[in-house]
Structure formats: C-alpha cells, structure tokens
Copies of this chain bind each other. A is one copy, B any other.
Amino acid sequence: MTLQELLGIELPLIQAPMAGVQGSALAIAVSNAGGLGSLPCAMLAPEAQRAELETIRAQTARPYNVNFFCHRPPEPDAAREGAWRAALATYYAEYGIDAATIPTGPGRRPFDASAAELLAEFKPPVVSFHFGLPDETLLARVRGWGSKILSSATTVDEARWLEARGVDAIIAQGLEAGGHRGIFLSEDLSTQVGTFALLPQIVRAVKVPVIAAGGIADAAGVRAVLSLGAVAAQVGTAYLLCPEARTSAVHRAALQGEAARHTALTNLYTGRPARGILTRLMREQGPLNAMAPAFPLAAAVVAPLRAQAEAAGSGDFSPLWAGQNTSGCRAVPAAQLTRELVGR
C-alpha cells in the first residue's frame, strides 16, 4: 500500500512537525496542497492546542497530522541546574538578568491522559510521536479513534521496536535531520547514521511503510529517497522560510547565510540532542555539555538569554534548528514549496 492510500493524501510528502517555529497555518497550507501538514503540540498549552486544532478543522478537509513528544518527565535536580546556571552566569550578567528570577519548569509536555482527552474531541487522521511511543493504554486510545500512528526511528533496533508495537508507518530519521533526534532506545549518539545508510537498512528490516527524513531539500531529494525504498519524504527545514512558518527573524537570517552550513547536535537548548545552526552558546559551552539539565528542563535556563538577545537582533542564545541541508529553504508559500518538492 502506498502512503497516499494509507493516509488518504495526494502526495508522498509529510511536512515535519517543528515545535516552536510553526503552528496550524503551515500545516493547513501543506494539507490543502496535497501533502500531510503537521501540528507540533509539544510546546502548546491545552487551550492553545484546542484552538489550533479547531483552526485546522475549519480550514482543511484534508488529512493532517498531530505530533507529540513522549518523553518521561525528569525529576528536577536542583544541584545540576544550579551548576548550569552558574556556568551561564557571565551571560546573565552581560544581559543584566537576575538569575534568581528565572522560572523553572518543563516547557515541553509529553503526550499524557489529558492530552489524549483533548485529542479525543478531534480524532485526527494521523498522530505522530517522537522519542518512542506513549504507553500501551494511551496508544490503544489513539488507535481506537482510527488515527493512523507514526513514529520516528533513528536505528534499525528502534524501527523493529516500533513495528512490534503496531505503528502504521515508520519515519527513518537520518542524522542530517534538523531539530530533536528521535533516539529513544539508547543515549549513544554514535548509533546515529546518515539517511543514505539508515533508510535502506530500515526498509530491509521492517514490513511497514518507511518514510525518509533528514537532508531532503528539493524534488531531487524526494526522488532519491523514493528510489531508496521510502514511500514518502518528511521535510522540515525547507519550510522554515515559508510565510506560514513562525520562524523568528534571527532564525530566518541565519538560514539564509553561510552559517547555515555548519550545524551540530546540541543539548544546550532543551536537554536532548537536537540539530541546529552553531551559535555563540554552542561554541562557547560545547554543543553537547553534560551539565545541561535533563530534557526538557534545560530550556527554561536559557530562555531569558534568548529573549534578550533576540530583542537585540542576535541569535547567540537561540535554538536555530536546521538540518544539514538548508539549500532548499525558500521564502515561498508552503503550497508552492509542497508541489515543487514532488516535482509538480
């Protein structure tokens, strides 16, 4: 079965959910153009989530995807967070921020019973998860609505794990991909491989359809993953300059410069490794720093620095999420980009 048949979409293309830089507008534009638009919910409070879902329902009759993180919230660790705040003290001083006033808190919610409660009102055609899957009871609930279930695999082992739990399709997330690595069976980043290596090995290892993600920036890229056995491509970075995305001004500027060619995996902005353009914070603290608080607690520590720096036009403390291939980023309407990505 093609992914189009499975999900009821016209084009073999999924717009990657990108929490923090897009909402319903991008999802609607892509779904109406025949791809699968995605609403990332990890950073949405329940009321915002409801409003976004209502907007999507009102503005498209086509299938759409709702995306959730399914991490286990960590125990707060005051000592670790204190040490990290101390490491950032010179930055706080530089921006005149009183570290004592910085709120703590998770910033990103996992899919849980209350999220399922809200989602039950919408019964979205597709629900995708990152960092594995929610527990069996919650997953059964989603399945009960008839929603098709997707999740990301970053290794062959993860793909087999997801298949055994009954997902409808697997997203093979190559190391080129921007944003959070979906890795969930291990913390060893040396297990993470490029799309060219990951995709064919997952295609060979599982029977469910496989969607390719990571480094796909244009129609040639989409053709290439289809010829490697994918049923569809998931594309994120290329959409970041679209007017429907809420990408910040500093992020848009970085994506269009030479700096965009140098990305790294970093845990400084959230606590989990995610790929973004190198920033001052990443350069000075090392992109992967064991002191950064556990996911998602690291976000609050950097948030005030980010806010002040961005207000001054600087992305020094911003998560400038991007994949390794920004050559497809263009400031064109998402519907046009969607059609061009599949060569129409």
Contacts and interface: CB of A to CB of B under 8 A. Distances in A.
A289 to B, nearest CB: 14
Given A156-B261, A175-B175, A191-B262, A216 B196 contact: yes
Interface string A267-292: 00000000000100000000100000
Nearest to A195: B196
A331 interface: no
B194 A176 contact: yes
Contacts of A197: 176, 214-215, 217, 323-325
A220 B227 contact: yes
Given A201-B261, A325-B201, A194 B174 contact: yes
A99 interface: no
A264 B190 CA distance: 6
A196 B323 CA distance: 11
Contacts of A323: 197
Given A221-B228, A224-B227, A261-B156, A176 B196 contact: yes
A85 B162 CA distance: 45
Contacts of A214: 194, 196-197
A204 B287 CA distance: 28
A215 B156 CA distance: 15
Interface string A320-334: 000111010000000
Interface in A226-248: 227-229
Interface of A: 155-156, 174-176, 190-191, 193-198, 200-201, 204, 214-218, 220-221, 223-225, 227-229, 261-264, 278, 287, 323-325, 327
Given A200-B217, A200-B221, A220-B229, 7 more contacts: A194-B214, A197-B217, A197-B323, A197-B325, A200-B220, A201-B327, A227-B227
15 contacts: A174-B196, A175-B175, A176-B193, A193-B263, A194-B214, A195-B215, A196-B215, A197-B214, A197-B215, A200-B325, A201-B261, A201-B325, A220-B229, A221-B228, A223-B227
In the A-B complex, list the 5 residue pairs whose CB atoms are closest, starting with the nearest. Answer: A196-B215, A194-B194, A197-B324, A197-B325, A224-B224
